[in-house]
Amino acid sequence: MFKDQFTLTDPVSGSSVPALGTVASLPDIPEVGTYNYGLVAVVDADASTTLLDSWKSLVGDSAIALITSGLGDVFFWKKDESAVYFLNVQRGTTELIDHDLHWFLNEFLTKEGVIEEVLRKTLFDSLVKHHRALRFHETFILEPWQMLGGEEKVENFTIGECSVYLDLVGQSHQS
């Protein structure tokens, strides 16, 4: 289960509503904030509808950001399909995960293979050691971006605002 695998390490102060709670009625919806030092972040309802604005040509108008990864990728909900998708930001690709949000949170996200291959935990842990843990809605950003030929070395990453990163890369994919 999500709560067994992920620990809230940077909660958001106030009464932010998780975007997850706006798309489904589930028991134990995780709080808005950063988990496992930034490996994932649960997006708040207010930001969830605008976070993917630069990606509408790819994700559609009904996309709601649910969870971001420490490397700036996004799990989002497509209202018109009632399905969870994964947006690989640097590749500019999406992939259907499932129609069951409960399964996505408590089974898919907690699988060792997903944590290693999709969330890229080994790289993430190296980045935390080299830089620091991420605060709420920060992400590690490769400079230059991978799509521009950036080489994935720990020293080539910086920390930046996830929303700005998503907007800039989304605009680059549009052109």
Domain ranges of the chain: 2-174
Which long-range contacts link 54-63 to residues 24+ away (Cβ below 8 Å)? 54/166, 54/167, 54/168, 54/169, 54/170, 54/171, 54/173, 54/174, 55/87, 55/166, 55/170, 55/173, 57/174, 58/87, 58/92, 58/94, 58/173, 59/85, 59/87, 59/94
* pLDDT tens digits along 129-173: 999 999 998 999 998 767 667 688 899 999 999 999 999 999 987
Amino acid at residue number 71: L
* pLDDT tens digits along 91-134: 999 999 999 999 999 999 999 999 999 999 999 999 999 999 99
- In sequence order, the 6+-apart residues with CB closer than 8 A to the CB of 84 are 66, 75, 76, 77, 96, 97, 98, 99, 101, 104
DSSP state of 99: S
Query: Would you mind telling me the total number of residues written for the chain in this entry?
Result: 175
Q: What's residue 144's pLDDT?
A: 75
Local structure of 9: helix, strand or coil = strand
* pLDDT tens digits along 70-81: 999 999 999 999
Q: Residues 85, 58: contact at Cβ < 8 Å?
A: no
Give the span between the Cα atoms of 151 and 111, in whole angstroms. 27
Q: What's residue 149's pLDDT?
A: 74
Q: Residues 3, 31: contact at Cβ < 8 Å?
A: no
Give the span between the Cα atoms of 26 and 44, in whole angstroms. 16
Give the span between the Cα atoms of 164 and 116, in whole angstroms. 25
Q: What's residue 41's pLDDT?
A: 97
